[in-house]
Each structure stands twice: as structure tokens, then as C-alpha cells.
Amino acid sequence: MAETPQPRASLLARIQHGYRESDASAQLFKTKTHTVITIISAITAIWVLVTLTNWMFNAEWQVILDKRRPFLVGKFPADQMWRIWPGVWIFGALLGLSSGLWMRPGKNTAITIAAGIAILSFLLVELDSTAINLALILLLALAGYVVAVRAQDSPSVRSLISRVTVATWVLLIPFMIILLFVGDAPPTSYWGGIFVNVMLAAIAIVVGTPVAVFLSLGRSLDGYPAIRIASTAFIEVVRGAPLIAWLFMGRFVLPFILPSWFGMNEADVIFRTMIVLILFNAAYTAEVIRGGLQAIPKGQYEAADSLGLGYFQTLRAISLPQAFRAVLPSLINQYIGLFKDTTLVYLISVVDVLEVGRKAFNELDYTGTALEVLVFVGFIFWLVTFSMSAISRRVEANMGLGSR
Amino acid sequence: MSNLVSFWYRSFYRRTIIQGAVILLVVLVGLALIEQVSNIENVHSPRFSSSIPFITFDFLDARAGIDLSHGLIFDIDSNDSRMDAILNGAWNTIRLAVVLIVFASLLGLLIGVGRLSDFYLIQKACTIYVEVLRNIPALLQIYIWYTVVWFITPPIAEAAHINISFFGANILTDAVIVSNKGLAIPWFVRESQLGLWFLLGFIALVISLIVRRFLQKRQDELGGNQGTNRYPALIFFGALILAYVGLGAPFTTETSSIVSSGAAGAIKNYGGGMVITGEFLAIVVALGFYTASFISEIVRGSILALPAGQTEAAKALGLSAYQRLTLIILPQALRTMIPPLGNQYINMTKNTSIAVAIGFSDVVFATRTISNNAGHSLEIFTTLLVLYLLMALVISSIMNSLNWYVQRSGI
Amino acid sequence: MNISWLKRGVLLAVLAFASLAVVACSDDDDSASASTANGDSHEHADTLQTVKDRGVLKCGISGSLPGFSQLEADGSYTGFDADYCRAVAAAVFGDSSKVEFVETTGANRFETLASGEVDVLIRNTTWTLSRDSDLKQSFAAPTFYDGQGMMVKADSPFQTLEDMDGATICVNQGTTTELNLASQFLERGLTYTALTFETTDLLQEAFLAGRCDGWTTDKSGLASRRGVYPEGPDALRILAVTMSKEPLGPLTRHGDDEWFDIVAWVTFGTFQAEELGVSSANVDAQIANPDSVAVALMLGVGYDGGDVTDMGLAVGPQFMQAVLKQVGNYGEIYEKNITPLGLEREGSLNALWTNGGLIYSPPIR
Ligand SMILES: N[C@@H](CCC(=O)N[C@@H](CS)C(=O)NCC(=O)O)C(=O)O
């Protein structure tokens, strides 16, 4: 469901006085009830904070430090890291550029993300190539941001930079794929860690979204019942079963039902997983996009018709841009959900970051560090997904969605 | 050329050709897949290549040979059929889903309202809750709770017995027993007259409904209060009281206790009551907390979408804040809430499959075990798909009728 | 909801009809397709060629069972099963290092093999009728005769299964041990609760937490996991009872006899070599100057200046040379991997048949 922009007001405040949310802090001690509740909740909050800090400083974080390579890339050989880092550098620079170009700056967001990265580097205190590379990414992002903000003054430079940025975004995944497979590359069974989660999600998004567009168009196509039924059937059947079931299907059943020239038998698990995730993501994303298509007033189509635009022209110029704009928040939510779902691939023996963690705390040397590992991995996920949703909020704000 | 173009643009032909092509493609792909599967099966059993259809569900009738744990109502054993084992798994999924739907909805409602609270710290706490929990994968949260459950529960030999007492007087001994073999709570034991009770209750219900209808008609004609609710209720509950006097209780409650078995009584289990296993608890807490963060957003959105005038009017009527929330705001918000809630419930039901990660024997777990013993992955997968589709169908029809009811009655 | 239940119902019905129609159609031309279907059109038909083209053998192992297959810190795998993977690679490529190990669990190993992800499964897997017929796998030869055991905490009073009435037992999903557990307790009239886990790591977590009273699997598996138990091996005790027969060995998919023969005869070759006294230490000398005709036949060399006999195995007559040089004979593999677990070979079923055991190779000739 598409989130509509909401006036931020507190419920009871609205009921009673029409206060705005930010005013709530002004009434911490307004009445007796307020005072009591404030004190009770403050004590609880302090207790929770103390307990957490206490735990944090007494926890055994050594396992995180020892296992930081597997957490990052799994078994991927150290001398092959040149296949991964360039893509990540470019990603950092792009993030900076894009935020400078299209995002309305938000102080809290930036602070939270920076604090997160600071904590991360605290846990990875040892200075090695990993730490240096992480620092490099931050630096590139910052540089990109500065360049983009500077460019705002001159429209021609800005449009050039934004063109380059968009093009690089589009080419990033193909570029990474080429780097990962060119020459004497390590087999995908060596992929692991957070790298696998990110790669799987990214590919499912980049390849799955165009598929989703076709599916959603197919499902809302008037006058073509066959296409409509086929698209609907695909979407509903895929959405009918949980991802776990489809992952098993992809690994164990797909190779049987696809002809051998499809190469599924020789294809490794990562490839099979990718196919499943692409189709799975496509079915869900199709429904999101369809919501956007339905939100477009009929009059717009009639106008396009009278301008003499054909079906595909109308799509490109009118319906798709509007649909994407309207459903951006839900779309990002879908992508975030997909990213979180990539943890399920452990079930078909892909060693993602969570599985690296589980293997680590099951080692004899690290017995009893389950909570540390799980909290660390949870923190990584939180950082990425929270940043994604924060970014989408800032982009929305910049597109003026909130002020329509 | 222009002829061709205009032919193409005569939409009838275009539609026919394009759709014909699509149908052909689908059929061809379908045939190719079937051909493929049948080839493989043929190779495996050459003697039956052309006489036996390659898809068969007969193997599901065979003895399962395994015992599935976590069963509550139909605890199957190894002598039951494979289909029974799968259905038992499905039943576990349904049970999990129902408990989760109730738990997550209540928690989500609380958090959603809390986020709009007047109290700054509560509001902030709820916001942090949502922003943290919905951004962490559900699987990870299950692992965390699983670890925590083992960490905080004592071994069963040292189980914690919680009694309910009132000013020193014990009302219920062993109300809750907590240990690493789960949480035991009192539960109902059916008495022999339960069937009769149901029959009586049903008859009383029908009669009171008929009476209510009759009274309603009278009220419409005559006006005034004809006791349309009072008398039927009197009839219904009167009948129940009579039944209780005549038949005794339909069921009694039974608290759980710890029973010993094995050498030197070293094995301890719960006897009686209802036992909620640690796995079940971890999943309910983890998935419940996780889903509640999404439900709270739905609740919040629906409340914020209400026109402010409603609450102003209620205030003018002199309703208290609590009354305004329960009488005015929530019933109205419910209307916009139901469709997205239905989607959440379906998602959550599918999400329960993550429970296989900690060995909970849900439907996915059961099908995995069966296909590992019997092969036939394709047939078993189809069964799984159909079971999940059925569950989604049931949830969406319940939510649709709820929606229909709410929109119509306009509470 | 995006689609009403009515629409869903119609959709389902349409789907059902469509698939029915398709199935019905395909029945008609079944006789036509049957002729092409039999035999050679099978996808996995030429495993040997596939392996050779790939340049590496994909071998399914457990990976978390010290002594059988265990991932080491340097990324390599050690163990009895891992060594048999190497033996097959040595026979195919003449190079025992050309193996890619694929970790599998008890619950996904057969699908992993059937779907072509691995070429051979060597993962302490028990040979049973249903795995042969239902799961369509071919077992080469048992390399380890085992039985199911029960492990309990050392300080618990249990000595027999009867002592464990009402117990909660931890077991691996999809194993024979899960099935035996059910039948053993059923036959003895004992109640129990099974807690089933897909991985041993998870099982051990539950056991450590005191969730189960007993832990059951193959006795070799119990011994292996006991050795790496976080609270030390002395915290655990394995009961004397043997609950089943568990002949463990390598297996391949149905439908590729040529490949099956290779795996089977590499396995038998290691038995035969031990029986004939050929080991990695003396194999070079034996190649140069074989002791007997049997040794010459096994190593694919001529006896006393005679010609080489090629018995037609697809990897050539000399396949055992690399196996013995790089991996060793059965005794060596056992000594290196299983003996450290404390499982005596002397007097067990795993002794050579000449010593009263069951390790016996059909003649290589
Ligand atoms: N031999 C039995 C049992 C095999 C089995 O499950 N082995 C266990 C322990 S012996 C195992 O490999 N566990 C390792 C894991 O799954 O992670 C069978 O073939 O079903």
C-alpha cells in the first residue's frame, strides 16, 4: 500500500489540543499524569540503556574482528579482492553524487548513518586493507557529494553530472558482474558474507524490475485476456508460496524440469538462487507498480490518445514515470524486504553474512558468542535498510511528493 | 506496406495474433516441461515408461516412519501416513499463524497508537521500536530470541513455578511453569457432555436469534425500546445456566505439573495443561514483534488519515480520551486498515516458514522430510504450493467478509 | 487485497483445467516420446564426460564431522569421506587435488546429487532399499559399517534405551536415524519426543541448552562430534546399545552405469590394495615389479614382462596407481582419519574379511 504523506501530529494531542508532534516534548511535565509517566518511562529508558551499554562493553567482540573477512566476502580469496573493491568504490562515489543531486539533505539521517559507520569501524579497529577500503568509500562518497552540490549552480554542469551518474548506476551491476567473472575467477561457491546478500538483492532488483514492469502492464492490459491471465497467474502463483519454498524449488526442482540445454544442471547454486530471486522480486514489484498505474487518472490516457501517442509512447512519456513516482516509497519498501529476505538463502547452502556468523559462533573457539554475532549482523542489516529508507524519504522530499 | 500497417492496426487481428502467440508459447513451454519431467522419470523406471502417468501422489499414502514434534492437537506418530505428516505440519503452520495474527495485531495496535501518543518518551520508544525491528531480517530475530529463550529458561529439574496469589492466598498453584522444555499453562479438559453442551448452546443461540428478529420487527413497528438485545441475551445465558446446573461443566481446567520417568526419574516432562515449546515461543515472539512493527504503521496511517473534525466533535460531546480512541477513532480507522492488514496476515502466514530454521516442524519442514525419504520433489512441491494457496485463500476470504461487514454496517 | 477470493477461485480452476488439458495432451504422444526418452537422452547420462570437461570433480560431503569431512582453517577438507572424494578424482584425473567439495546436510544431500550439483555423494550415507528405489540412487560399496547409537550427558543415569522412557531426543532431519529412532521406541513401547534439526550445529546448540536428554545418530558421528563438544568429550557418554545397521558408503545417481562403475571400483580398489599389501609407501616398487598377478591386474601393469590387461573401466587400467600414490589404501585412509576418533578397527566389522571383518573386494580381473 502506498504511504500517503501525512501531517505529523500526535493522536491524543490532536484529540485534545491539536498539538503538533514536535510539541510533545514541551509537555513532559504538563500535568500530574504526564509527570508520573515521564518519570516511569525515563527510569525504564535509563535502565535499558545502562543494561545495553554494560552488555556491549562486556561482550566478546573478538570473534567479529577475527572473522571480518568472512563476514564481508565469505571464502572469496584475498588476492582476488580487486574484483570486488572497484565496484564498491564506484558505489560510494555514486551515492555521494546522487545525494548531492537529488536528495534534500537531512541532518538526522546523515548523523545516524555516520554514527553507524563509526561504530562499525570501532568494531573493526585493526588497520588493514579492509579498513582502508572502507575509509576510501566514505571519502569518495563525500567527494561525490561536494562535487554534486557545487554543480547545482550551473545547470549545464549539473545536467552533465546527472547524466553521467545515471549512466554509471545503470552500468554498475554489469560492470561488477564482468569483473567477477572475467579471466580465472573464483567459482561462485566462494562467494559469501554480506557481499552475497548485496549482490543477490542488487541483481534481483536490477533484472527483476523490468520484468515486473512487463508483468504489471500485462496484468492491466485491456482487450488481451490471454496475456492478462498469464501475467495474473504468474504473479499470484509466485506470491502464493513463501520464498523458502521457491528457493527449494529453484535449487532442487528447476534443474529437473528445465531442459539440459538450459544449463541448469551445471549452473551453481548462486545462479539458481539469482533466478528465483529475480522472478520472486518481479512478481511482488509488479503488484507495487500496478498500484501506481491504477492511480493515474483516465483523463491522462485520453489526452495522450488525442495527442496521437501510441501505446509504448504513452507508457514511456506518461504512465510509467508517474507510476514510479507515486509508488517510490512502496517500491523501496519492497526492495528493503527483498534485501532482508536474502538471509533465507542459507537454506540452500549459500553462505551469506548471517550464516557466516552462525558458523563462527559454532566454532569451538567462539562458543557462547551467539548474541554478539547476531547483534553485529543485525546491526549491519539495520544500517543498510535504515539508510535505504532514509534515502528514499529524502528523495521523496526532494521530488516534492510530500507537498503535493 | 501501408496496407500491412493498417492491417496491424485493426486491433482485432492484432489482438488475436499476439494472444495466439502468447497462448502457443505457454502451451509449448508447458509441454516441453512435461516432456522433460516424464523423460527423467522414464529413465529412472524404464519398464513403466509409457503406461504410468509420471505424476503420482500414491506415495503419500505410505507409512511416514517419522514422528513430528510440536504437534498439539493431532500428534501423529510414525505409523500414520506421509500425507498425515504433511497435514500435521500444515496444522502446525496454521496454529502458529493464528496465534501470531492475534499477538501481532494487538501489539501492533498498541505500538501504532503509542507512536501518536501524547507522552513524549512513549512516542519516542515506539518510534525506535518500529525503526529497529522492521529493519532487521525476521530470520535473525528468530535466532536472537531462540538464543535468549535458552539463556533465560532454567533446566526442567529447576523449573520456575509461578503461582497466582491474592494477598497471600494462593488462587492458582502452578499457573505457569517455565523451563527449557517450554512454558506450561493450565488448559481445558473436555468432559463427556461436551457434545451435548454444544448442541444445547447451538439451539439456544438459534432460538435467541429468532426472538431477536421478532423483537426487532416489533421495535421497527411500534418504536420505543422493546428489549431487542436484553431478552435474547437472557434466553441464551439462561439456557446456559440451566445446562450447567443440569449437566455440569462442559470442560474443566487442569494445571500442568512435572512428571518424572526413565531411570532414577531423571527424565522430566510436563503432564497435563498446555505446553508451549521454546521453539514455538521464540518464533511467536520474534515474528510477532517483527510483524507488529509493520502493523503499527498501518494503524498509524489509518488513524492519521481520519479527518480531524471527527475528534473535535467527539470532544464537544464530552467523551474522555480513552472513549474517543475506542469509540470514535479506532472503529473508523478499522475501515481503512482491513485491506492492508489482510495482506500483512497473508505475508506473516508465509513468513512462518522461516521457523524451519530452528527446527519447528511446520508444513515446509514436513514436506522436506518426506521428500527426503520418498523423492518426488515435484509432487511434494505442488502439494506445498496448494496448501499455502489455500491458507491465503481462507485468510483473504475472512478479511473480505470482515471488510464487507464493516463497510456495510458502518460501525 | 488485490484480487477478490472469487477471482482467485476462478483463477485456480482455470489453472487446474489448463494443466489437466496439458497433461492429457502429453499422454497422447507419450508412445512417440518414449522411444527417445529411454536411455541416452538422460541429462546426467555422461557424468564422466561432464567431470572431465569441467576439470574438477564435485563431491558432496558433510563438512562438519571431524574424521569424516571437516573444513580446516586453511580452507581445505580433511577426513575419511574427503579422502574418498580425492581417490575418485585421482582415478579420473590422476590428480587427487581436483576436487570441489560441496557441503550438504542430511536433508538436502539426495536432491543435491539428483539435481546434478554434485557428481558423487560421499557423506556417511546409509545404504537402504528406499534410497535405491524411491530416491533413485546407486550405492557403490559400504566403506564404513556402522550402527546407530545414543549419546547422553555423562552425569545422567541412563544405561539403556529403556532408561529413557519419555525422553526428548535430538536427531538430524532426513536421516535413517530419524526413522530408526521412531521404530526402536515404538517397538520397545517407550514414549519420546523427537526434536529434529537440519544441521548438527543447531542440534548441538539445543543439546547444550539441555533441550534434549539424548542425541542420536551413527555411532561414528557421535564419536566424532563428542570429540569437539564445547564442554569437552568427557561431558558426554555413548550408550552401549546399537539401534540399527548403518552401512555407509559413496553413491551416484541412477542411470549412469559407467560412472557408477568408476566410483564402485575405486572403492573396491582401496580394499583390494590393502588385502594385497599395496600401500602408498610401496606402490612405486609394486608398479615397477608387481608381487603377484593380482597386484599387476589392480595396478594395470604387466606381470613379469607380460602385457597389460585392460578390463574396460572408462578411466583406463592404471586408475589405481594415482589413487594409491596420492591417497592410499583402505587401511591407510582408516588409520589416518578414523583411528584418531577412538574407533578401533581391530575386531570390528570394518576389519578386512581376512581378519574377520566385512571389508571385501570382488576380484579385480
Ligand atoms: N547415516 C545416516 C545418518 C547421516 C547423518 O545424518 N549424519 C550426521 C551425523 S553422523 C551428520 O552428518 N551431521 C552433519 C550435518 O548434517 O551437519 C543416514 O545416512 O541417514
How do residues B249-274 score in pLDDT, each as one tens digit?
A: 777 888 888 888 888 888 888 888 88
**Structure confidence by residue, pLDDT tens digits, A95-125:** 888 877 877 666 666 666 666 666 666 555 5
CB-based contacts of B3, cutoff 8 Å, min separation 6: none
Do residues A273 and A286 share a domain? yes
Last residue of a domain, one of C215, C244, C273: C244
Smallest Cβ–Cβ distance between B118 and the set A13, A241, A382 belongs to A13
Residues 6+ apart with CB under 8 A from B257: B174, B177, B270, B271, B272, B273
> Do residue C240 and residue C253 come from a single domain?
no
Q: C74: nearest CA in chain A? A: A75
b/e map C268-304, b = 16+ CB within 10 Å: bbbbbbbbbebbbeebeebbeebeeebbbbbbbbebe
Nearest to A287 among C2, C44, C108 (CB): C2
The residue whose CA has the least distance to atom 12 of ligand 1 is C62
Query: Please, what are the domains in chain B?
Result: 2-54 (no CATH), 82-136+280-409 (1.10.3720.10)
| Tally of CB atoms within 10 A around C47 | 21
Based on the fold, state whether residues C225 and C268 are members of the same structural domain. Answer: no
- Between B342, B365, B377, which is nearest C111 by CB? B377
A245 touches chain C (CB under 8 A): no
Q: Quick one: C97 exposed, middle or buried, by C-beta within 10 A (0-12, 13-18, 19+)?
A: exposed
Which among C38, C179, C183 has CB closest to B46? C38
Give a yes or no: residue A33 inside a domain.
no
Q: What angle do CA C88, C93, C96 make, to 5 degrees?
A: 55
CA C15–ligand 1 middle distance (angstroms):
40
Task: Choose the closest CB to C15 out of A233, A349, A358.
Answer: A233
Extract the C-alpha cell encoding B183: 512454558
CA distances from C22 to B34, C18, C170, C175 (A): 8, 6, 45, 37
C72 found inside a domain: yes
Give the HSE-up count for residue A401: Cα atoms under 13 Å, Cβ half-sphere. Answer: 22
| Ligand 1 atom with minimal separation from the C201 CA | 17
C167 shares its domain with C258: no
A40 is a domain residue: no
Is B67's CB within 8 Å of C43's CB? no
Q: Which of residues 100-159 of A touch C (CB under 8 A)?
A: none
The answer to whether residue C121 sits within a structural domain is yes
DSSP label at C177?
A: H
A75:C11 CB<8 A: no
pLDDT of residue C180: 94
Nearest CA to ligand 1 atom 10: C221
Which amino acid is located at B32 in the chain? A
B14 Cβ partners below 8 Å, 6+ apart? B8
Q: What is the pLDDT of residues A145-159, one digit of tens each?
A: 888 888 878 888 888
**How many angstroms separate the CA of residue C290 from the nearest CA in chain B?**
42
Q: Which residues pair with C352 in a beta bridge?
A: C359
End-to-end C-alpha distance for chain A, whole angstroms: 18
How near does any CA of chain C get to the CA of B308, in Å?
Answer: 27
Are A171 and A200 found together in one domain? no
The predicted pLDDT at position A22 comes to: 44
Does A23 reside within a domain? no
The Cα of C62 is separated from the nearest Cα of chain A by a number of Å equal to 12
- Which residue lies with its CA nearest to atom 3 of ligand 1? C175
In terms of C-beta density within 10 A (0-12 exposed, 13-18 middle, 19 or more buried), how is residue C354 classed? exposed
> Whole-angstrom Cα distance, residue B124 to residue B127?
5
Of C124, C196, C202, the one to substitute when testing ligand 1's pocket (max ligand atoms within 8 A of C-beta) is C124
Do the Cβ atoms of B359 and C5 come within 8 Å?
no
Give residue C249 CA to ligand 1 midpoint distance, Å. 12
Q: Determine the distance in angstroms separating the CA of C144 from the nearest CA of chain A, rounded to an integer.
A: 26
pLDDT band at A4 (very low <50, low <70, confident <90, very high): very low
> Would you say the CB of residue C244 lies under 6 angstroms from ligand 1?
no
Domain for residue A10, yes or no?
A: no
Q: Which residue has the cell 587400467?
A: C317
Verify that A120 and A246 share a domain, yes or no: no
| Angstrom distance (rounded) from CA A93 to CA A144 | 5
Nearest CA to ligand 1 atom 19: C125
Of all protein residues, the one whose alpha carbon is nearest to atom 20 of ligand 1 is: C175
The predicted-structure confidence for B173-200, as pLDDT tens digits, reads as follows 778 899 988 889 888 887 777 788 888 8
Q: Is C218 in the pocket of ligand 1 (CB under 6 A)?
A: yes
For chain C, state the CA radius of gyration.
24
Pairing of strands C214-218, C167-172: parallel
* Cross-chain Cβ contact C15/A268 below 8 Å: no
pLDDT, tens digit, for every residue of A163-192? 898 899 888 988 988 998 888 888 888 889
Answer yes or no: do C211 and C198 share one domain.
Answer: yes
Grouped pLDDT means (10 residues each) for chain C, 365 residues: 43 46 39 32 68 93 93 90 97 96 91 88 95 91 96 95 93 93 92 90 89 95 94 95 96 92 97 96 95 94 90 94 96 96 93 95 94
Residue A147 lies in a domain: yes
- Decide: residue A401, CB within 10 A, 0-12 exposed, 13-18 middle, 19+ buried: middle
Find residue B253's DSSP bridge partners: B188
The SS3 assignment for B311 reads helix
Looking at the structure, do residues A238 and A158 belong to the same domain, yes or no? no
Nearest CA in chain C to A232: C11
A122 and A196 assigned to the same domain: no
Q: What is the CA radius of gyration of chain A?
A: 24
Q: Identify the bridge partners of residue A74 per DSSP, sorted by sequence position.
A: A191
Interface test with A, best of B119, B324, B364, B380 (most A CBs within 10 A): B119
Q: Chain B: nearest CA to C361, how far in angstroms?
A: 28
Say yes or no: C253 and C329 in one domain.
Answer: yes
Encode C336-351: b = buried (16+ Cβ within 10 Å), e = exposed: bbbeebebebeebbbb
**Range of lowest pLDDT (A125-129, A369-373, B32-36):** A125-129
Pick the atom of ligand 1 nearest to C246's CA.
1
Residue A215 scores a pLDDT above 90? yes
Q: Which of the four pLDDT bands, split at 50, 70 and 90, describes residue B101?
A: very high
Q: Output A204 or B227, whichever has higher pLDDT.
A: A204
The C-alpha atoms of residue B391 and residue B384 are separated, in whole angstroms, by: 11
Q: Which among B42, B262, B356 is the nearest to C158, CB-wise?
A: B262
Same domain flag for C136 and C228: no
Q: Look at residue C311 and tell me if it is in a domain.
A: no
Q: β-pairing, B182-185 with B187-190?
A: unpaired
* Residue C310 counted as domain residue: no
C243 Cβ below 6 A of ligand 1: no
- CA distances (Å), A138 to each of A113, A131, B326, in order? 11, 11, 49
Boundary-marking domain end, from A183, A203, A218 = A183
Taking only the tens place, the pLDDT of each residue in A63-91 is 888 888 888 888 888 888 888 888 888 98
Cβ contacts of A230 on chain B, cutoff 8 Å: 22, 26
SS3 A349: coil
Q: Which of A168, A183, A198 is the last residue of a domain?
A: A183
Nearest atom of ligand 1 to the alpha carbon of C125: 19
**Cα–Cα distance measured from residue A207 to residue A28, given in angstroms and rounded to the nearest whole number:** 50
Query: Which ligand 1 atom minimizes the distance to the CA of C248?
Result: 1
Neighbouring chains of B at 3+ CB pairs under 8 Å are A, C
pLDDT > 70? residue B285: yes
A359 to chain C, any CB pair closer than 8 A? The answer is yes
Angle, CA of B129, B130 and B131, to the nearest 5°? 95
For residue A399, what pLDDT is reported?
Answer: 72
CB contact under 8 A, B138 and A340: yes
Ligand 1 geometric centre to CA of C172 (Å): 7
Exposure b/e, A123-135, CB count within 10 A at least 16 = b: ebeeeeebeebbe
Q: What's the mean pLDDT in B353-374?
A: 89
C positions 57-86 inside 8 Å of B (CB): none
Enter the pTM of the model. Answer: 0.85
Domain that holds residue A92: 77-183
Which residue's C-alpha comes closest to atom 13 of ligand 1?
C200
Low-confidence winner among A137-141, B8-12, B296-300, C223-227 (lowest mean pLDDT):
B8-12
| Reported ipTM | 0.85
Decide if C287 is inside a domain.
no
Are C65 and C179 part of one and the same domain?
Answer: no
Q: Exposed (0-12), middle (13-18) or buried (19+): which is C308, by Cβ within 10 Å?
A: middle
C108 to chain A, minimum CA–CA distance in Å? 8
Q: Identify the CA nearest to B353 among candidates B81, B142, B107, B149.
A: B142
A24 vs B37: CB contact, 8 Å cut-off? no
Identify the CATH number of the domain in which residue C138 sits.
3.40.190.10
User: Which residues on chain C are in Cβ contact (under 8 Å) with A265?
Assistant: 43-44, 115-117
Count up the domains in chain C and report the number. 2
Q: Which domain holds residue C53?
A: 32-145+248-281+319-365
In chain C, the DSSP E strands lie at: 57-61, 64-65, 69-71, 77-78, 99-103, 120-121, 137-139, 144-146, 148-153, 167-172, 192-197, 214-218, 236-238, 246-248, 251-253
CB contacts, 8 Å: C9 with chain B: 393
Number of folded domains that form chain A:
2
Chain A residue at shortest CA distance from C227 = A364
A305 - beta bridge partners? none
Q: For an interface test with B, give the residue of A12, A228, A262, A305 to mutate (most B CBs within 10 A).
A: A12
- Do C159 and C212 have their domain in common? yes
Q: Count Cα neighbours of A138 within 13 Å in the Cβ-side half-sphere.
A: 15
Distance separating alpha carbons of residues A354 and A345, to the nearest angstrom: 10
Counting DSSP H helices and E strands in chain C, the numbers are 14, 15
Mean pLDDT of the region B228-241: 86
Between the alpha carbon of residue A324 and those of residues A336, A396, B352, C196, the distances in Å are 16, 11, 31, 46
- In a shared domain, residues C114 and C191: no
B209, B237 contact by CB (below 8 A): no
Query: Do C91 and C152 belong together in one domain?
Result: no
Pairs of CB atoms within 8 A across B/C = 176
Ligand 1 atom, smallest distance to C198 CA: 16
Distance between Cα C126 and ligand 1 center (Å)? 9
Strand B274-276 to strand B182-185: parallel, antiparallel, or no bridges (unpaired)? Answer: antiparallel
Q: Are residues A104 and A236 in the same domain?
A: no
Q: Does ligand 1 lie within 6 Å of residue C326's CB atom?
A: no
Query: Which atom, in ligand 1's list, is nearest to the CA of C224?
Result: 10
Q: Is the same domain home to A130 and A252? A: no
In a domain, C350, yes or no: yes
Distance CA B87, CA B76 (A): 10
Q: Classify residue A14: in a domain, yes or no.
A: no
> The CATH number of the domain where A296 resides is what?
1.10.3720.10
Q: Which three cell numbers stand for residue B23?
A: 497462448
Measured between CB atoms, does C202 come within 8 Å of chain B? yes
What cell numbers appear for A96 in the block?
555521494
Do C48 and C77 lie in one domain? The reply is yes
Considering only CB atoms, B140 lies closest to which of A226, A241, A354, namely A354
| Average pLDDT score over residue span A309-327 | 83
Angle at A224 between CA A219 and CA A226, to 5 degrees: 80
Task: Mark yes or no for CB contact C202/B358 under 8 Å.
Answer: yes
Residue C209, in any domain of the structure: yes
On whether both C46 and C172 belong to a single domain, the answer is no
